Structure 1
Amino acid sequence: MDEVSTSSAESEAQAVSRSQMGGFPDLYKQIQQLLCTSLSEHSFMVRQEELRLMQRSSFYLEIRRHDEHENHPRLSDTKLWTLIDKQRLRSVMTMAYERVELLLALQELLYEELIEGCRELEDFIAKYDRGLAGGDAAAHAQQRFLQTCQDLSDFESRMTRDAAKLYLQHKLIPNNGHSPRIPLSASLIIKLPVMINRLKSCVTSNVVHLYWEDSDMQPDDLKPEEFQVRVKSLPQTSDEQEEVAESTCRSYDLKINDLKPNRHYEFSVRRVDTMTLVRERWVDTIVLGMLEKDAST
């Protein structure tokens, strides 16, 4: 008799709980759909990789004319560069760096908020399925649902790789009566990190053929750029000094000759620094062991 009474009481409690959900008829289904799509485990893996790539990306300052077309000069144009006030440009570079740091910090916070939102929504679904979600829990879940949807929108919009405009407090070309009046605008552009192709790169006893690429570019989409390749010979004993050599190239591969057999070398690849580089914190590095002389013959 006691078991029947207990079971009846639980059923009544669940019925009361579900009746309290009458004001939120679609909330349960909306949360379930969100958890199966934008908040799925796969979606978080993709989002985490996007955030990692953005944190490793290079950020550059781009200066353009307001009315720029293909035939108008850019910052790289020598004549335009000589007109720009260097002190004002440094100020803009500082502002751009602070903007990048803020952007990355906000993206990290949004990602953490999405994880917390997912946890709370999953907890609500579990309580609802057990008939333990009352009106207060439903109201909180609805608020969290709406906030999580907004966080998703903010996260995705800030992950764009398009230029982000910067507000110029002062004209980069001072009006001294001698310089032409050229209206300029400043933007941040993002270049994804350079990644060494570990599957394609190959090694013999004294030669390494190193390949690299932009993180999400196909081989046919690679644009000509100048890269810096650094080769460091790792000491075999505590008394031995490391040897470092650097070279530049305008291709996405480099053949490095005259290495010593049966040794380890550290290779790193990055874009060559330019005056418009705002932030670069990560450089891809790989350590490769040279084969023994007999093994390559």
Structure 2
Amino acid sequence: MAATLNGLGTGPESPGQSEEEEECRGSKDCRGSKECSVSKECSVSKELYLERKHLVLQYVQSELNLLRLQHHRAKAELLQKSYFYLEIKPKQVNLKDQDNMMYTANLLDVTDHVQLQRIKKLGKNQTEIQLTLLTELLEQLEQGQEELNSYVRACDIRTFLSQWDLIKQKMAKLSTFVETLLSVEEPGKLHIKHRLLSSVYLRDTEHPPFSVSLYTRAPLIFDRRESFAHKKWAKLKWFSEDQDTDLQWCELHLRLLTEDRRREAGHSRIQTVFSNTCIIKNLQPGRSYEFTVRRQEDETLVYENWHDSIVLKTKSDAVETGDEAACSPEG
């Protein structure tokens, strides 16, 4: 794109001749006249305008088309809801015990807790900066697309050509934004200066080299077709938004709601499950419950900001049917 932009200066050295110019050259009355000169200038300007207009449209279609921006927007929204974790390598280290014998330990089992908390704080700060930058870049790209389209739609030939340097600068700047956007859409490495292992385990050995980076896991979403409530129990089902089928430990939060959908004090509980389904028993008939699902926190989690929730209302005694007993959960 930069080479193409630089190749277009004030005008082509040997522009193709338009029909108006050919007609002008073939007319003896027009030859050398002021009118013919003006006609030539208009023809060259129009050709240059069309060439540069095509360049802008081509850039918008390739770099800032609607589908591409929607893809980046969807990816940003997913990241805003995702869980961010530390990935520390290597996962195991070789150490010496008090008898000077070598043994292998899981790195997280021999870390200095205070240093790990500092690294987690650094990871959280980097994640928050990344997500903020991602939102700002998308806004800049969407605004830039509108501005380039407005130049093409609204500007006449003279105005468009007079603004060409500004348009080139705008496209170059947007190209830089696109490159930055692609880099911040993926979690990166953390530059760590802290020692990670506890001196209790290191003894006289040197601190082994290690690297720390961030990775994400998609949020959990309730399956609203498969989640329902009966009179005294409810069945909840959820899935990972990236369709990951590996089961993980999850926390299901339950809260009893009042008539105005406020949380009723003292009526809440948390259930931990290693599954993507859960049956909640001992509910009150005819009441609304809010259920929230989240991944269970572990020692490498650095950032989470969103959890899916669903409100289900249990059936009341008045609408109970014979099917209630037949479909009650076992136990």
Taking structure 2 as the reference length, what is the TM-score of the superposition? Answer: 0.72
Q: After the TM superposition, which parts of structure 1 deviate over 6 Å for at least 4 consecutive aligned residues?
A: none
Q: Residues 257 and 136 from structure 1, CA distance in 2 versus in 1: closer, same or farther, beyond 3 angstroms? A: same
Q: Residues 252 and 78 from structure 1, CA distance in 2 versus in 1: closer, same or farther, beyond 3 angstroms? A: farther
Report deviation, 1:78: 6.3
Report deviation, 1:277: 1.2
Report deviation, 1:48: 2.2
Structure 2: how far apart are the matches of 1:231 and 1:251?
Answer: 17
Alignment map for 1:5-84 (pairs within 5 Å): 16=42, 19=45, 22=48, 26-36=51-61, 38-65=63-90, 72=92, 79-84=106-111
Report deviation, 1:102: 1.1
Report deviation, 1:42: 3.8
Match of 1:243 in 2: 267
Query: Which amino acid is 1:96 matched to?
Result: G
Which has the higher relative contact order, 1 or 2, with Cα contacts under 8 A spaced 6 or more apart? Answer: 1
Structure 2: how far apart are the matches of 1:103 and 1:134?
Answer: 36
Match of 2:233 in 1: 207
Report deviation, 1:174: 5.7
Alignment map for 1:1-297 (pairs within 5 Å): 16=42, 19=45, 22=48, 26-36=51-61, 38-65=63-90, 72=92, 79-128=106-155, 130-160=156-186, 164-173=188-197, 177-179=203-205, 181-217=207-243, 221-236=244-259, 241-297=265-321
Report deviation, 1:43: 3.5
Q: Residues 232 and 32 from structure 1, CA distance in 2 versus in 1: closer, same or farther, beyond 3 angstroms? A: same
Structure 2: how far apart are the matches of 1:296 and 1:83?
Answer: 57
Query: Which amino acid is 2:305 matched to?
Result: R
Structure 1: how far apart are the matches of 2:84 and 2:43?
Answer: 52
What SS is found at the alignment partner of 1:133? helix
Gaps of 5+ in 1: 1-11
Report deviation, 1:206: 2.4
Structure 2: how far apart are the matches of 1:293 and 1:174?
Answer: 60
Q: Residues 166 and 136 from structure 1, CA distance in 2 versus in 1: closer, same or farther, beyond 3 angstroms? A: same
Please identify, of 179-188 and 117-126, the stretch whose mean Cα deviation from structure 2 is larger.
Answer: 179-188
Aligned length: 271
Identity score, percent: 24
Find the structure with the greater CA-based Rg: 2
What SS is found at the alignment partner of 2:86? strand
Report deviation, 1:27: 3.7
Report deviation, 1:59: 0.9
Structure 1: how far apart are the matches of 2:122 and 2:44?
Answer: 53
On the 8 A contact 1:84/1:172 being kept in 2, the answer is yes
Structure 1: how far apart are the matches of 2:318 and 2:59?
Answer: 59
Pairwise CA RMSD of aligned residues?
A: 3.0
Taking structure 1 as the reference length, what is the TM-score of the superposition? Answer: 0.79
Query: Which amino acid is 2:225 matched to?
Result: L
Structure 2: how far apart are the matches of 1:111 and 1:247?
Answer: 38
